[in-house]
Amino acid sequence: MSTSSVEWQDTEELKPRAASLADFCSQNKLPGKQIQQTPGTLAFIEKKAIESLHDFLAHDMSREHGGVLVGEPFFDAAQNRHFVVIRTAIPALESEGSSVHLQFTPETWEFISGLIEEDFPELAIIGWYHSHPGLGVFMSGTDRATQKAFYNHPWNLAVVVDPIAHKTGWFCGADCEVLDQLHVISYTEPVTTVPAVASPTQEISSVEMNTGKGIALKTCNGCCLSDCWRRRSWWEYGFWAGIGFDREQRR
């Protein structure tokens, strides 16, 4: 983006939790030996999170869109390296943007922080993502300034997608070091640990989706009878995050 204010200020310092990369790989049925041979910081992203991120950025290619990456940073002391696990990608539904610019509004931040507090209290914002429709994937001067100012830990991530060219770039740390394919691994979480907004067994028909039942009833605590922005956003968030119904159902 050329001009931006995609910033996030944590009230307390987020510290990476000690964890074993080998254990994480075996818990998630990933080829641990192979993965551990790749040096440096690794990013793991839940399959649904990367799919919803791409779906959201492709839904409107007339302008830039973006959001935040939510998950947890870890530090493997034995291997002396960080790895980051992205559990969900929250879209900035009320952002302002053009083909070369993106700005998150106060409403965007209110929605994002409310969602994290209620549904992902154990997680934090570990990075951000945005689109460059037709411009290619790179970190612009403004993108770099944003990264340096607000996402400057060695494990902070930035994802840039050109949804027209179908290209994705991953960048890491204050200096936006490029993460290649070997350093970005998608995985599927065991079902029991996925934070659910709607009950996974809950059947949501297209009629119910349109009227906002299901997801809204579970997530819009108390205020779901009125057509508030929060309810709308929750519904849209569920749509873009693929929560409550699978990708085939919503096509």
Closest distance to Zn ion from the beta carbon of 66 (Å):
8
Residue 1 touching Zn ion (CB under 5 A):
yes
Q: Cα separations (Å) of 190 from 16, 26, 194?
A: 22, 11, 7
* Cβ at position 140, least distance to Zn ion in Å: 5
Query: In terms of CB distance, is 94 or 143 closer to Zn ion?
Result: 143
In the bound state with Zn ion, the residue whose beta carbon lies nearer, of 1 and 21, is: 1
The Cα-based distances of 184 to 22, 128, 168 in angstroms read: 16, 15, 11
Instruction: Establish if 38 lies at the interface with Zn ion (CB under 5 A).
Output: no
Beta strands in the chain (DSSP E): 3-5, 17-18, 42-46, 66-76, 81-91, 96-98, 101-103, 124-131, 157-162, 167-172, 177-179, 184-187
Dihedral, CA atoms, 209, 214, 218, 220, nearest 10 degrees? Answer: 30
Three-state DSSP at 98 gives strand
Nearer to Zn ion, 102 or 115 (CB): 102
User: By C-beta, is 148 or 232 nearer to Zn ion?
Assistant: 148
Among positions 190-219, residues that touch Zn ion (CB under 5 A) are none
Half-sphere exposure of 186 (CA within 13 A, CB side): 11
Give the SS3 label for residue 231.
helix
CA–CA gap between residue 176 and residue 140 (Å, rounded): 10
Of the two residues 39 and 136, which places its CB atom closer to Zn ion in the complex? 136
Tell me the CA distances in angstroms from 13 to 40, 108, 115, one per residue in order.
23, 22, 20
Taking the C-alpha atoms of residue 54 and residue 238, their distance in angstroms, rounded to an integer, is: 15
How many residues contact Zn ion, by CB under 5 A? Answer: 3
CB of 30 to Zn ion, least distance (A): 30
Choose between 43 and 161: whose C-beta lies nearer to Zn ion. Answer: 161
Q: Is 93 in the site for Zn ion (CB under 5 A)?
A: no
Closest CB 221 distance from Zn ion, rounded Å? 35
Q: How far is the CB of 147 from Zn ion (least distance, A)?
A: 10
Q: How far is the CB of 230 from Zn ion (least distance, A)?
A: 28
Measured at CB, which residue is nearest to Zn ion? 1
Residues 141-170 that bind Zn ion (CB under 5 A): 143
- Contacts (CB under 5 A) with Zn ion, residues 126-145: 140, 143
Instruction: List interacting residues with Zn ion (CB under 5 A).
Output: 1, 140, 143
